[in-house]
């Protein structure tokens, strides 16, 4: 027993030789840790992970070194000592798909967000092809913690392109919003809508854009909605064609749509755009169909009168004028009756029902 120190040193010295049995090396580490000789344990574990030939053995000894370092140093010096150890490990391995995330994870665990962000950026600049999804996630996390949002955005865009997953696009959108890049966030949502066909991108674009800042994508969404049978977007499509002054295309669109779907809304817009595109005869023909099926529409009737006058169809214009006046008299009588019954405030409901 009096030669304990000498025996211990002898055992540690033996571990320098690669041919020494693995169990002997482990026993030496165990003795040092049990005797709370943490500095010696750190030194030995560090040499062992530096000399290890495979990743698993290297990581095992590195983790023992981390453990001993955490025990050996006060909390004030802990981070510095741990960081130094990670740097030793970093320069003892090939930075591959396995080791990059391993190092990033350990830097994040000790709270070295600046080191994690810096290492992530350096590794990405040189070894971007080695970044898998786990590695990318850790790298972005380190950058976010260190407020390197622009770099994190670059990495998220890289990941979306490489892995073709909308989760990375969502992260890029989130990072764009955090940086106040709202216009770019809209562009990314447009990409998401077109590439991934996810309803959340459509919803974002409908909520956050107007014809003034996104008429192209809104026109695309509106027409796709109508194509899928949602006729509540008919008027939105009309607004798009009005905004872009594409009256000819608007007429063609609604006339074609009318052949497939006999909808009152579609018929009204087909008439309206025929008039706007100076296709008076086509519009009048459609309006007479509308009137025979749904009755008089005051606005369309007045527009039709004007078009007939322009075509010098004065008798037909007179007939429509008489019909319109009769309709207006009828409505006035109805309003008077509703006032008498004290339900005049419900007239708009009646109008809405008549226009269904």
pLDDT at site 43: 80
* Spatial separation of the C-alpha atoms in residues 122 and 120, rounded to whole Å: 6
pLDDT for residue 3: 43
Q: Give CA–CA dist 114/107, Å, rounded.
A: 9
pTM of the model: 0.75
Q: What is the pLDDT of residue 340?
A: 64
What is the per-residue pLDDT across 160-188, written as a single tens digit (0 to 9) for each? 999 999 999 999 999 999 999 999 999 99
Residue 354, pLDDT score: 46
Number of neighbouring beta carbons within 10 Å of residue 297: 20
Cα distance between residue 237 and residue 225, in whole Å: 9
**pLDDT value at position 356?**
45
Interacting residues of 61 by C-beta distance below 8 A, sequence separation 6+:
45, 46, 48, 49, 52
CA–CA distance, 46 with 63 (Å, rounded to integer)? 10
Sort 11 into a burial class: Cβ within 10 Å, 0-12 / 13-18 / 19+: middle
Please tell me the predicted confidence (pLDDT) of residue 337.
64
Q: Please report the pLDDT score of residue 350 as a whole number.
A: 47
pLDDT at site 47: 82
Which residues of the chain register pLDDT less than 70? Answer: 1-22, 24, 73-78, 331, 333-356
Query: What count of Cα atoms within 13 Å lies in the side-chain half-sphere of residue 95?
Result: 21
């Amino acid at each position: 027993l009096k030669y304990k120190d000498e025996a211990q040193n002898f055992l540690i010295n033996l571990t320098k030789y690669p041919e020494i049995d693995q169990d002997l090396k482990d026993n030496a580490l165990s003795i040092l840790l049990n005797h709370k000789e943490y500095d010696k344990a750190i030194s030995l574990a560090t040499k062992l992970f530096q000399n290890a030939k495979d990743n698993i053995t290297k990581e095992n000894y590195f983790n023992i070194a981390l453990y001993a370092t955490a025990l050996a140093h006060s909390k004030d010096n802990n981070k510095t000592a741990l960081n130094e150890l990670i740097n030793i490990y970093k320069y003892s391995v090939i930075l591959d798909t396995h080791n990059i995330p391993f190092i990033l994870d350990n830097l994040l665990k000790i709270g070295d967000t600046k080191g994690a962000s810096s290492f992530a950026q350096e590794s990405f600049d040189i070894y971007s092809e080695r970044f898998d999804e786990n590695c990318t996630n850790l790298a972005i996390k380190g950058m976010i913690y260190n407020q390197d949002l622009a770099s994190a955005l670059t990495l998220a865009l890289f990941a979306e392109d490489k892995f073709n997953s909308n989760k990375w696009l969502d992260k890029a959108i989130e990072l764009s919003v955090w940086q106040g890049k709202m216009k770019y966030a809209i562009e990314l949502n447009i990409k998401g809508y077109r590439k991934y066909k996810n309803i959340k991108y459509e919803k974002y674009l409908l909520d956050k854009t107007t014809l003034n800042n996104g008429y192209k994508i809104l026109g695309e969404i509106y027409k796709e909605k109508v194509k899928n049978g949602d006729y509540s977007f008919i008027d939105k499509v009309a607004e798009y064609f009005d905004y872009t002054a594409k009256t000819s295309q608007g007429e063609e669109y609604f006339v074609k749509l009318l052949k497939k779907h006999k909808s009152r809304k579609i018929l009204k817009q087909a008439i309206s755009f025929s008039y706007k595109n100076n296709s008076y005869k086509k519009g009048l023909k459609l309006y007479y169909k509308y009137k025979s099926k749904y009755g008089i529409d005051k606005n369309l009737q007045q527009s039709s009168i004007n078009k007939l006058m322009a075509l010098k169809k004065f008798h037909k214009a007179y007939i429509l004028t008489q019909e319109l006046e009769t309709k207006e008299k009828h409505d006035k009588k109805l309003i008077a009756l509703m006032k008498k019954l004290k339900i005049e405030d419900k007239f708009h409901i009646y109008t809405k029902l008549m226009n269904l």
